[in-house]
Structure 1
Amino acid sequence: MNSLMPIFPLVEMSMTCALVIIWILQKASPQDFPLALKVTLLVVLGNLFFWPLGFSLELPLVAYVRGMVGDLSIVTTLLLWSAVLLSTKPAPTSFKAFIVIVAIIFYPLALGFGMTDPYAWGYASLPFLIAVLLIALICGLGNWSRGVWIIAIAIIAWAAHWHESANLWDYLLDPLLAIWAVAALIAMIYQKRRDKARSGYLFRAG
């Protein structure tokens, strides 16, 4: 089992790369892809990333991708997978705002700007684990069940040492997740201003 563990993150990243391409193709298509087509593309593209295909490359494509971006957090991975495969509703705005606030506070402190190192909390800190469970509870009370099981799976993956990291933070947050949350909030604000301006134009006197 231990000898297979390094393969699992590569499989996970291969599927994630495939789903990113499927997401891009879906955005460019005027019609939604049926689930069967998504699964077929996932299998084909995932294999293209996972297996060495030559082209003067000593390693499979996924190894180079993983070398550049590292392991994505489980939260990022599951948000992407569920959004592409299940066509679920977007994550709540409050969740995106929470991610942005946490990232703004966490990353400067983790990089040494301050006396507190929140990254150390991720090493089997019971208060931090309780705080994460409370966040999952809030997601449940807010009727966002997807957030509950995403956080639950992230905790299980951390407990099982799914990735190389033993820090819970690495299963919950990564820079790409923070960038996605910031971009989503900016896009939402822009869309609201655009709709407001369009509404004002339609109802303008004369």
Structure 2
Amino acid sequence: MISLWQAHVSFALLIFLMLPPLGLNRGLRVGLLFALLAASFIPVDGLSLAAYLRSYIDDLAITSLVLMLWGCLRKLGLPAPARHAQISVLVVFAAMALLLYPATLGLSYLDPYRLGYSPRAMLVIIALLTLGLFYLRNGLAVVMLASATLAFVAGIKPSHNYWDYLIDPLLGLFCCTALLVIVVRWAYRRSRLLLRSASDARQSV
């Protein structure tokens, strides 16, 4: 039952994030979000729209739900955290994805996914990482990791693997792509700055 409710919430949050602002005020945007949640129950050929979406993306990690909820709150007017905090989130979860998914595809002899079934060491590592991020005042990352850990302890998902609470392919792809875009933009700006500096130097000679 939890997974079904998770599918409905994921449907509403994903569609809301994909929609343009449409010039709506905050009240209407909140109403739109609840309307999308209601629409997720609409049956098509015996399955709800949320169930159709779930068949493509499976159950998302708790961290993904927290990140999407934060994105929706941003669209509703919540102030954004500092840029370095956003980049920290991308780095942390991109690193998790790069550690986990190449191994599950047989590209490594290691099997980190198996550790998620008895995650004592993982829990200690994530706890230390969460404390470090809390010290750095990265509230978003702290809430994401803490929510995933609490959800795992409570067992609110059908999976008994800690990894399924921490990361999913959609979140990993998003973080890796976002980091790649940031690096490319930085390299482009850096190259333009160097070219401009070289051009100014030639003109001054």
TM-score range, shorter chain: 0.7 to 0.9
Q: How far apart are the structure 2 equivalents of 1:183 and 1:114?
A: 22
Question: Residues 122-201 of structure 1: matches in 2 within 5 Å?
Answer: 122-196=116-190
Alpha-carbon contact 2:117-2:160 (below 8 Å) kept: yes
How many pairs align?
Answer: 194
User: What RMSD, in angstroms, separates the aligned Cα atoms of the two structures?
Assistant: 2.5
Of structures 1 and 2, the one with the larger relative CO (CA 8 A, separation 6+) is: 2
CA displacement 1:33-59 (0-9 Å, x = unmatched) = 54423321111011111232x5xx211
CA apart distance, 1:147: 1.4
Q: How far apart are the structure 2 equivalents of 1:49 and 1:146?
A: 27
CA apart distance, 1:169: 0.3
- Look up the match of 2:36: 45
- Look up the match of 1:59: 47
Question: Residues 92-131 of structure 1: matches in 2 within 5 Å?
Answer: 92-131=86-125
- Look up the match of 2:56: 68
- Look up the match of 1:79: 67
Alpha-carbon contact 2:99-2:112 (below 8 Å) kept: no
Task: State the TM-score, normalizing by the size of structure 1.
Answer: 0.81
- Look up the match of 1:3: none
Identity of aligned residues (%): 28
Unpaired segments ≥5 residues, structure 1:
1-5
Question: Amino acid of the residue matched to residue 96 of structure 2?
Answer: V
Unpaired segments ≥5 residues, structure 2:
none
Higher deviation after alignment, 58-67 or 93-102: 93-102
Indicate how the Cα distance of structure 1 residues 76 and 172 shifts in structure 2: closer, same or farther if over 3 A, else same: same
Indicate how the Cα distance of structure 1 residues 35 and 16 shifts in structure 2: closer, same or farther if over 3 A, else same: farther
Alpha-carbon contact 1:38-1:85 (below 8 Å) kept: no
Q: How far apart are the structure 2 equivalents of 1:69 and 1:130?
A: 29
Alpha-carbon contact 1:50-1:62 (below 8 Å) kept: yes
Indicate how the Cα distance of structure 1 residues 201 and 41 shifts in structure 2: closer, same or farther if over 3 A, else same: farther
CA apart distance, 1:107: 1.6
Runs of 4+ in 1 over 6 A off after TM superposition: 200-203
Higher deviation after alignment, 86-95 or 161-170: 86-95
Alpha-carbon contact 1:10-1:50 (below 8 Å) kept: no
Q: How far apart are the structure 1 equivalents of 2:189 and 2:19?
A: 27
Task: State the TM-score, normalizing by the size of structure 2.
Answer: 0.81
